[in-house]
Amino acid sequence: MIITVTLNPAIDKTIVINDFRINSVNRISSTRLDAGGKGINVSKTILTLNGKSKAIGIAAGNAGRFIQDYLNAVNIEQDFVSISGETRTNIKIIDPVNKTNTDINEAGPDILMDDLESVKNKLLSGIDDKSVVVFSGSVPSNVPNEVYRQWIASAKEKGAKTILDADGDLLKLALEASPYMIKPNIHELERLFNKKINTIEDAIEIAVEIINKYKVENVVISMGEKGALFIKKDCYVLAHGLKVEVKSTVGAGDAMVAALAYSIDQGYSFEDTIKLAVACGTANVMTSGTEPSTLETIMQLEKQVTWEFIQ
């Protein structure tokens, strides 16, 4: 089974405002609430692919119960640790007129170290050498940035394959544990190396450095409408972006991570993994908020994915 870890989940409140203006009264044209957090979004797309995952993490207050109730309703197995406080609500403002997406994210509640240890125990007690574990997203502000590094190392000792999708120090420190795969976007890579990435060759050079230095087996770099790079030792593939109507970019990277995890779990070939990952990421931007796409849409997009080998 695939395990997704979400230490800082959220209710995603997506608000659509035509011609959104700062310092002005704005009228909402539509709104929706979704159970969110990057790991939860991954589990949602895995479900769309008819795969199985188990979502573990932290839940607090009424918002936490909303998320747990949603997971139970759609038959995503979940095992969350309940804590005091209130799970955060993240606001996503989408302006179809000006084609902008604005995120306003809360920090989320702090967590007791005993509760954090409980989540770790739930994780490690349920994995083995057939497991794929996805570590993604932010963590509560009082949780040490070393948490993903430590947990990835522990999961690897169990034989599990680990996927990391994080930013900043969480990403930087976790690389030291040599995750099986990482899925940064181009901006996260720029922040990690404190340099501008201007070309595909620049991105490949950084990915190869990560592979050689940290013994990461696969690096997937999402680049929005420009597509994605799939890089492993001595093999560099550029998958071209697909032109579709964009409703919301929120969760597109999570959908791609879901496809990567599902492909590993199912033993897909490198080429089939590329097609599914690009299709899932593209399909996600065609939906509102973090609503998962349909399997039919994903399968249609898979047929349109093209790529090239970069020398």
Q: Which residues are catalytic?
A: 254
The one-letter amino acid at 104: I
CB 196 within 8 A of CB 210: no
Residue 123's DSSP bridge partners are none
**DSSP E strand boundaries for the chain:** 2-6, 10-16, 30-36, 53-60, 77-83, 88-95, 100-104, 132-136, 161-165, 181-182, 218-222, 228-232, 235-239, 307-309
Spatial distance between the Cα atoms of 300 and 282, rounded to a whole number of angstroms: 11
**Would you tell me how many other CB atoms lie within 10 Å of the CB of residue 215?**
13
The one-letter amino acid at 130: K
Sheet harboring 2-6: ordered strands across? 77-83, 53-60, 2-6, 132-136, 161-165, 181-182, 218-222, 228-232, 235-239, 307-309
**DSSP E strand boundaries for 128-210:** 132-136, 161-165, 181-182
CB 239 within 8 A of CB 301: no
Residue 101's DSSP bridge partners are 94
Here the tokens at position 262 are 């599902």
DSSP one-letter code for 226: G
Q: Using the Cα atoms of residue 154, residue 157, residue 163 and residue 164 in order, give the sign of their dihedral.
A: positive
Report the relative pairing of strands 53-60 and 77-83 from DSSP bridges.
Answer: parallel
Name, in order, each residue with C-beta under 8 angstroms of 53's C-beta and a sequence gap of 6 or more: 1, 2, 3, 4, 42, 43, 46, 47, 76, 77, 261
